[in-house]
Structure 1
Amino acid sequence: MREVREVGGSAALLHSAARGSAQAWEELVDRNGPVVWGVARAYCSNPADAEDVYQATWLLLAENLERLRSPDALSGWLVTTARRESARLARARQREAPTGVDPSLFDVPDHDDGPESKALRSITAARLWQAFGQLSQRCQQLLRVLAVAPETSYAQVSEALGMARGTIGPKRSRCLALLRQRMTSLGGAEEAA
């Protein structure tokens, strides 16, 4: 991570970025990037869509730098924008998604090791995603954020997902225990461990 170069709150950084300061823009991205990425991964089912949402969120900020009503509430604006972009992209994906196609057909093969380990990894991954898909939407969002952006603070996770900060740790533990239980019931006791 880069060291802090521009001192000031979000309002000062936004003002400087609007005047063309690349340094201020980089500082805005450094400060808020993990939150935007966490929201994108929480609401998108695959990394490519999350990257699209992440980029679209920053593009929208760049286009609206001077129009923000409350520059000090930038983090909330970014979270809301990322959520809306995620929902927009999900609606678009629903219109274009093929039906009846096994998503594993799109996996890129890994030629680094033998077929036995590939088969085992494939079975384990399939069980994990099947068990993950059985979790509530809330658990899926929380586990995605924490897995993709582990350095994100509970305060940022709280803001991104609209959860009370004190409930994140216990909810995470319950979701992981439930995931482990589902993996075990699917025959993946050794993978769940």
Structure 2
Amino acid sequence: MHEVGEARTSAVLLRRAASGDQQAWQELVDRNAPVVWGVSRAFTTNNADAEDIYQATWLLLAENLGRLREPESLSGWLVTTARREAMRLRRARRRESPVGLDSGDLGPPDHAEDPEHKVLRAMTSSRLAQSFAQLPQRCQQLLRVLAVAPETTYSQVSQALGMPRGTIGPKKSRCLAELRRLMLAGDIPEEVAG
């Protein structure tokens, strides 16, 4: 019985809001905000996108206040609209993202056709290999282990290389700084050297 009364009240609030009653609009938002926010958050992990979905849903309701076919089913309309907005935003983000952030592909863009990027990549690879070879053997070992098996814990690295666990982080930082210095010393542009 409570749901029927609430549905009727939603229909009344919609009519009042459509006629310009700000208090009715605020009551509609207050009653339904948790549902709209919940749907918005369910379809994205990004807080900014969830806020965009939330706002777009309310905007669509404001634009369609007097045109809802079943005003007593407002919460269902809001859920459906929020879900559609989430899907629309997801498609838009895929088009906007040149590296496909939604697909998990976070690699560098493919410049296979671009001769400049081919030369820079080859130069960087060659210079990286040369610079890496100039590092002390201990640095080479440490960086290889961490590059090949990034999930390895410092305890495991300590056992594998016979290094004290507390020295691994600082040693890694010093080795990477030295590698960067060696790459920059070879007249490689800083943006290529990292």
What interval of TM-score do these two structures reach, taking the shorter chain for normalisation? 0.3 to 0.5
TM-score, L = length of structure 2: 0.47
User: Looking at CA atoms only, which structure, 1 or 2, has the larger radius of gyration?
Assistant: 2
Higher relative helix content:
2
